[in-house]
Structure 1
């Protein structure tokens, strides 16, 4: 005899109800056993004005956005600085919850929210006396390009770096603390030829470090959104990404996102772009 219940059996609706009740109860118990954290720890190396020195008066527009977005769900943000390579490693080993100021190509195994926090426009920089301008990969021949360890660069440039990483006359890789100021100094001393950097970051750095040489911009290369992203195996990665995206949308609708961008002297077009490299150097900081 076939004893299985069928949709027309009188007890079938009751069985469906009991199964649904048990599923909801199990989900509720799982959430109680593994609730959302009251604080998220996010790491990055300083990349001002996107994200600046942790604990400073100005921590960066991305950090401001993150704090306000997560506060809508009563979650606080702890922002810590370390080298970019270490930030990636610490997130992958679950010592921090995520990273700030990341391109989609930077860490493909991380979980990215739907909403970006800002926008990056990257270009080459050279010595002030240099007349060099980027005209494709061939123009990099016989030039020493400074790069920062574990940074993602424009797709074509990134491949060029990987192909020539072992040739120090072509690729000089920097790591540790304050790699950008070291790179600018090396270019000024003519120990290397080129540096690839976000133009807002370069403008901010040169404005706040008048002792550094004022490098010459030598060609726009790459533009892309920048994000906060969460560790690939983090138990709450999907929930945190959703909360962040919802929070960014709320801040945009309320006008607060625009206010944050403008407080850093950035454009108010939703991409947080400087108006021009020249104008960026003269924008007032908060």
Structure 2
């Protein structure tokens, strides 16, 4: 992939990641005096998860690692929100953690690396303090933590929000005749959605996303066709999840690998009508046309 296109995709992700961090920060402000509800907690969990997954795929490992640590803190808050006392100090630590993520993101946007000294003295200590205060999540199953108490269908919720947003983005890219960075967009989206499938323990959906990536790699000359098939398969999966038909989820992209490259229009014509026959037919047509023209001319002089 050309470096300018790769950088364009990275900057687009970093812009989206900053929006996620802004959402988290605005939700956490005043947490000590105004506890957030389950829906808000789900929102910050999804935001942290999105930053973690996207940063990992883009190669921003420090950003991904710190976002993962913040996500773990939110998991504990969610699981223990009825028993855990949230005071001003805990609120300060959470907001400081978001600030450290923003600083790392700014460096990534500038094309700079995070210095190990800064990470050791400014970055990790905040997350270490959060860990000392909250500990580790009791289970690495975000699906059971997200809205477990209010009975919300987490898979349906995420497919109605996160997945719908991804598919709308892909539709807009496909609508552009130029389809800039389409292959990269589909590949990244497949990995993002595959990570969501793992989080929700939807093995069939994860397998579908993996097959999209494999098909792209195996047949790079058919990106638009594969993208459309992937969009259709993801839309079908979304509809099935929303109605609770998990067992019917497709596991593979229905793609028949062409044995030979698609023929050009000229090749199609030549195969259907050999060139020599085409020339002979054209000569016959020309002779007939000349004959008709002579007949018309003779009639005019009669």
Same fold per superposition (TM over 0.5): no
Which TM-score band applies after superposition, normalised by the shorter structure? under 0.3
TM-score (norm 2): 0.24
Larger helix share, 1 or 2: 2
Return the structure number with greater relative CO, CA threshold 8 A, min gap 6: 1
